[in-house]
């Protein structure tokens, strides 16, 4: 695959980003594109490794190892190296409906399991993927491709995040009439409102793909919440031959400590959603971090996005509290290849904060104990304490406060970015669908059938909070099983 000796001749390169102090002045995407020559060189680093773990899509130690949608990575690396871009795009679209999304926001478990990564930096798979699909858009190769015939079957997809969009795209290819319901004002779910514009442009990237899907015959119905007065749940099942639930896992984890009711304490997703909506509508109705000391509780991508958004607002300071310890700079002995590498990384938000304030904003092994407010009921400070992780009497690791490490940190805005507990329950209650002990929809992986005939579940509402690429995997697979239910057979991949 690629040049047989390329991995020995060429070093890993990734595209440069816009300078942090420049990019925090706007909301444009911060990645710059590499030249075609540089991309072909990177494609040449792909080894003829015999067993390419990069596209296996396995769960190893509970984490993704390789691409969950089984992208044909060695094939399109070779095609890019040889300059066959159109063929590379065809290979890419065989397994991935939305490579422009994953090429921007996926953490690239494929690179974590790249065989070259055992001894050298892995192939720059994610960047090559993004470059292939952008070349396709620029050259006009990506055009509407509606099905030649229709089956007469109608399918409702509830939720327009990555799982819902993938299910809709595949079911439409099978010839079914697909309607996607979205409670927000624009389709895209997490892609539209959960990820900031500087990581994933809404008009130029997300809506571009959705417009194409509309031209292929998919209907999007927004501002409609299924299970409410807008559209009763029983009507959904009577109006459609089948239903795919892809509502996501949007119930945020709260922090019920003293002072939680104070003004100025928000869930991270409320902060990010309002900001993106204001950008799209040129409005001013959003939660502003301007001139405020911002405390973000929780790490992960959402916490990073809150850091970057606060900087663009013009915050006075930003601190990110992480209850877990800092990861090592290199793989630990108990984290071997091809597991996902649990190593310390500096993401774009931390890089920007360091450029502005001179230091990484993350504080590890630290948790909030209470919020303090003023006479008007607005938060003014966060009380914190350092922790160490010890085993309790059940053998479970739990955080234990370290005496004498208490601090009071000024705060005018607190953002809770501690992950999600599962799907919101009202729609599931209205449908009467069975759930598992985690409150997610009970539907076996690989089958996706719920307790209700003709109703399928895919993505985070079934598996819990996960990656965009896993959502696409589940949306595609649920569409295949839904098609089988409707037609007694399926030709969907």
pLDDT in tens, 14-53: 999 999 999 999 999 999 999 999 999 999 999 988 889 9
Calpha distance 287→284 (Å, rounded): 9
Say yes or no: 228 and 330 in one domain: no
Please check whether residue 392 lies inside any domain of the structure.
yes
pLDDT beneath 70: ranges in the chain: 1
Task: State the pLDDT at residue 40.
Answer: 97
Q: What is the pTM of this model?
A: 0.96
Does 368 reside within a domain? yes
How far is Cα 217 from Cα 148, in angstroms, rounded to an integer?
A: 11
In a domain, 174, yes or no: yes
pLDDT in tens, 312-353: 999 999 999 999 999 999 999 999 999 999 999 999 999 999
Domain boundary among 368, 402, 418: 418
Q: Which pLDDT score is estimated for 173? A: 98
pLDDT of the residue at 492: 97
* 395 and 470 belong to one structural domain: no
Residues contacting 144, CB < 8 A, separation 6+: 212, 215, 216
Check which CATH number belongs to the domain holding 196 and give it.
3.50.50.60
Return the pLDDT at 284: 83
Q: Are residues 199 and 78 in the same domain?
A: no
Residue 146, domain member (yes or no): no
Tell me if 68 is assigned to some domain: yes
In degrees and rounded to multiples of 5, residue 181 shows phi and psi of -100, 135
Q: Are residues 384 and 265 in the same domain?
A: yes
Instruction: Looking at the structure, tell me whether residues 244 and 301 fall in a common domain.
Output: no
Percentages helix, strand, coil for the chain (3-state, rounded to 5) are 35, 20, 45
Please indicate, yes or no, whether residues 58 and 128 belong to a single structural domain of this protein.
Answer: yes
Structural domain boundaries, residue 264: 254-418
Sign of the alpha-carbon dihedral angle for 42, 43, 44, 50: positive
The answer as to whether 493 is a domain residue is: no
147 belongs to a structural domain: no
What is the reported pLDDT for 450?
98
Number of structural domains (the chain) is: 3
161 with 243, same domain: the answer is yes
Structural domain ending residue among the three candidates 84, 107, 139: 139
The predicted structure's pLDDT at residue 1:
60
Whether residue 382 is found in the same domain as residue 263: yes
CATH code, domain carrying 65: 1.10.1060.10
Model pLDDT, residue 50: 85
Nearest Cα neighbor of 55 from 1, 125, 7, 2 is: 125
Same domain, 374 and 263: yes
Decide if 1 is inside a domain. no
């Amino acid at each position: 695959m690629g040049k047989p000796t390329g991995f020995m001749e060429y070093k890993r390169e990734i595209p440069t980003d816009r300078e942090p102090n420049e990019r925090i002045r706007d909301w444009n995407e911060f990645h710059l594109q590499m030249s075609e020559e540089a991309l072909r060189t990177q494609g040449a680093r792909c080894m003829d490794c015999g067993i390419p773990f990069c596209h296996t899509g396995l769960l190893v130690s509970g984490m993704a190892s390789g691409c969950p949608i089984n992208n044909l990575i060695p094939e399109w690396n070779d095609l890019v190296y040889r300059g066959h871009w159109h063929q590379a795009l065809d290979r890419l679209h065989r397994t991935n409906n939305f490579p422009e999304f994953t090429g921007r926001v996926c953490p690239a478990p494929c690179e974590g399991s790249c065989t070259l990564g055992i001894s050298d930096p892995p192939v720059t798979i994610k960047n090559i993927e993004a470059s292939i699909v952008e070349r396709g858009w620029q050259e006009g190769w990506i055009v509407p491709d509606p099905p030649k015939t229709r089956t007469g079957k109608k399918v409702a997809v509830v939720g327009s995040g990555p799982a819902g969009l993938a299910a809709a795209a595949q079911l439409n290819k099978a010839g079914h009439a697909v309607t996607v319901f979205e409670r927000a004002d624009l389709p895209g779910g997490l892609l539209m409102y959960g990820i900031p514009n500087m990581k994933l442009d809404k008009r130029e990237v997300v809506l571009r793909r959705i417009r194409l899907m509309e031209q292929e015959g998919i209907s999007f119905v927004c501002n409609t919440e299924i299970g409410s007065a807008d559209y009763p749940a029983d009507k959904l099942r009577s109006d459609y031959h089948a239903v795919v639930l892809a509502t996501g896992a949007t119930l945020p984890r709260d922090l019920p400590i003293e002072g939680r009711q104070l003004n100025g304490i928000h869930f991270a997703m409320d902060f990010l959603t309002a900001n993106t909506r204001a950008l799209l509508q040129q409005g001013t109705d959003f939660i502003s971090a301007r001139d405020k000391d911002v405390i973000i509780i929780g790490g992960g991508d959402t916490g990073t996005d809150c850091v970057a958004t606060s900087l663009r607002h013009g915050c006075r300071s930003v601190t990110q509290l992480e209850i877990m310890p800092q990861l090592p700079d290199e793989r630990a002995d108990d984290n071997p290849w091809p597991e996902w590498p649990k190593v310390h990384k500096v993401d774009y938000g931390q890089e920007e904060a360091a450029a502005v304030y001179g230091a990484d904003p993350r504080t590890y092994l630290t948790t909030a104990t209470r919020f303090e407010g003023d006479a008007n009921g607005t938060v003014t400070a966060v009380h914190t304490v350092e922790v160490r992780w010890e085993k309790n009497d059940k053998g479970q690791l739990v955080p234990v406060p370290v005496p004498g490490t208490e601090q009071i940190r000024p705060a005018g805005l607190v953002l809770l970015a501690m992950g999600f507990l599962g799907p919101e329950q009202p729609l599931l209650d209205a449908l009467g669908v069975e759930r598992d002990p985690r409150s997610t929809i009970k539907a076996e992986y690989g089958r996706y059938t719920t307790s209700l005939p003709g109703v399928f579940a895919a993505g985070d509402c079934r598996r819990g909070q996960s990656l965009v690429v896993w959502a696409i995997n589940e949306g595609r697979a649920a569409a295949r099983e839904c098609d089988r239910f409707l037609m007694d057979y399926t030709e969907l991949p």
